[in-house]
Structures are given as C-alpha cells and as structure tokens.
Amino acid sequence: PREAPIPLREWPTILFRGALPLSMPIVLLGGIYSGAFTPTEAAAVAALHALILAAVVYRGLTWRSFWGVVMESTRGSAVITMILAGSFVLNYAFTAEGVPQAMAVWVEGMHLSSIMFLLMVNMMFLVLGCFLDVSVLLLVFVPMLLPAARLLGIDLVHFGVVVVLNMMIGLITPPFGMLLFVTKALTGIPIGEIVREGWLFLVMLLVLLLALTLFPQIVLWLPQTMGYKTI
C-alpha cells in the first residue's frame, strides 16, 4: 500500500534520526583510509558505534537485551572459531601430505587448458557451495587449487574473483545457502518462495560467472589500468 506523504515540518527530524546510523560508513571508511585503524579494527569500531546509538541516542537497548546480544554474538563467534580451527588443521594435514602439489601434478598430467580448469573449479565450488560454509571453501579448498592455477598460468587476481563469485552464488543456492536462511529469519518468507522469486538473479549471476571465466580481461582491465602487472 502507498504510504501517506511526509509533512515538510517532519523532514528535519527524520533526516537527523537517519543521519546518525548513516554516518557509520563515513566513520569506517574515513578511519581506514586515514590510517586511524585497520579494517579488522573497523569491525570493533562499528560495533561500538552501533552500541552507542542503540543505548544512548535511541535508548532502545536495555541491559537484558544487551546481554542477549552478547550471548548471541558469543555463540556465533564460537561457531566461526571452531570452523576456522578445523579448517586450519585440515589445511595443515593437506599441506603436510602434499595434496596441493599432487593436485597440480594431476592437472598437468590431464593436459587441461586454463579455461577447462576454471570451468572444473566452477562446477566444484557451485556444488560444494550448496552444502558447505564459505570459510571452509576459502580455507580448505582454495589452497589446494592455487598451485594448479599457478602452473596453468592463471592470473591469481582473476582466479580470486572467480572463486569469490562462486562462493557468493553458493550463499543463495538451496538447500543450505546461508543467505536464504538469513532472509527467511528477517522477513519470515518461506525459503521456497524466496528461491522462486530469486531464480532469475541466480541465472544472471551464473551468466556473469561464465563471462568472467571465459574473458579474464573483464576482471583484469581495471587493475591493469591502475598499474597492476599481470602475474
């Protein structure tokens, strides 16, 4: 339904209330580019900024709700830490056993072109992205594939962009795409309906992925324009 027009006398109040939350990107980007803090520290600054606004300015955060936020954040951090710990252990085991080097030798023996290798990587990540978390894909499978990518002369910036796009598609792919569950939790819309309404966007992302895979210059022209030397 169409909302009623906002009277002009209410505009200053609305703009003032909206300016404070919208100042967060300015604070973060300004601090990062000025060297005041690192991108990692920016996460803590953003949390403090949001906490001050919620508790002091808007007074919408009570001690009880604050404790709930802390507990939820702690659980989320614990899950991520467990995933990272397991990924590092598995990555160490793969490295100690020479799995990445063995994969590079296997790829060389198959006489694959760089395009064929990237298409295989796409298929693997698209399938695994339906079931595994992004951090697992990034920390376990990417190090296994890097030696083979270097061996085939694939630019690592191009390879990285292709991998990231694959993982982004995995986040919205059933049955376990994380963003599907986040969207359902925020909106209450069933996952089946979200998938039905979003399939066209998924198809467009797959077309974009194929274009970036077949034509590396789409990825590399801007870095090269800014002085990047292709590896």
Name the residue with higher pLDDT: 158 or 99.
158
Please give the torsion angle defined by the CA atoms of residues 209, 214, 218 and 220, in that order, rounded to the nearest 10 degrees.
110
pLDDT value at residue 109: 80
Q: Cα dihedral sign for 145, 151, 156, 161?
A: negative
* Same structural domain, 93 and 52: no
pLDDT digits (tens, 9 = 90+) for 143-164: 888 888 888 889 999 999 999 9
- State which H helix or E strand residue 164 sits in: helix 156-171
Residue 32 lies in domain: 1-61
* Same structural domain, 55 and 18: yes
* Same structural domain, 156 and 93: yes
Name the residue with higher pLDDT: 212 or 87.
212
DSSP 3-state assignment of 97?
coil
| Domains held by the chain: number | 2
Residue 231 has pLDDT above 70, yes or no: no
* Same structural domain, 54 and 133: no
**Which amino acid belongs to residue 130?**
C
* Same structural domain, 17 and 110: no
| Average pLDDT for 10-38 | 86
* Same structural domain, 112 and 206: yes
Residue 133 has pLDDT above 80, yes or no: no
Give a yes or no: residue 106 inside a domain. Answer: yes
Kindly report the pTM of this predicted structure: 0.66
